[in-house]
Structure 1
């Protein structure tokens, strides 16, 4: 990966690491425009100030746009949301593996428990 590509990835990650940024993109991923209030409910737990800041950043990055109907993803934002579904699929498999590993650890007898007095 070139230095230019790495810089682009870091820039995108910096944006997406902002609190609620990915949740906003995810909430808009169904393609239906949402009003500010509906989007706030969809994202859950976000204050109006934080949501407003996030929307300004995502609009400046050309991932979200505002039309007369509400907020919606731009074509670039929609592509990012489609790629996030791959992360969703990975997360499902990862969570299953985590649960299995936790069950295996719980089923293994503790060395201290096997010692007799």
Structure 2
């Protein structure tokens, strides 16, 4: 499975537009959860696996490779961690989190 990246066709769009690539990447199962967990602190492979409901090692390995290729996470002596770009993405999503909370209330 290829990593969705800007300037390449992705699921739902052949345009190569960067926003479509990020939506495809973040929409892949487990990717947002991995980013969410790493936003708290660096984690080892096993730590991530445990925090992500014990997903299979092969799926976690695939997702780590995708997020690393997209330059959103990297590996260090402390385990996996968000890159500066990954941290920036998580900060950028904060207004969307706030909007989704309002949306949730409207639907209740």
Matched, 1:50 2:50: no
Matched, 1:71 2:74: no
Q: Structure 1 CA distance, aligned partners of 2:16 and 2:62?
A: 26
* TM-score for both structures, normalised by structure 2: 0.79
Q: Which has the higher helix share?
A: 1
- Taking only aligned residues, the RMSD between alpha carbons, in angstroms, comes to 1.8
* TM-score for both structures, normalised by structure 1: 0.74
Displaced runs of 4+ in structure 1, greater than 6 A? none
Cα distance change, pair 84–42 in 1 and its aligned pair in 2 (3 A): farther
Farther off after superposition, 53-62 or 85-94: 85-94
Paired residue for 2:23?
A: 13
Gaps of 5+ in 2: 1-6, 8-14
The structure that has the greater radius of gyration is 1
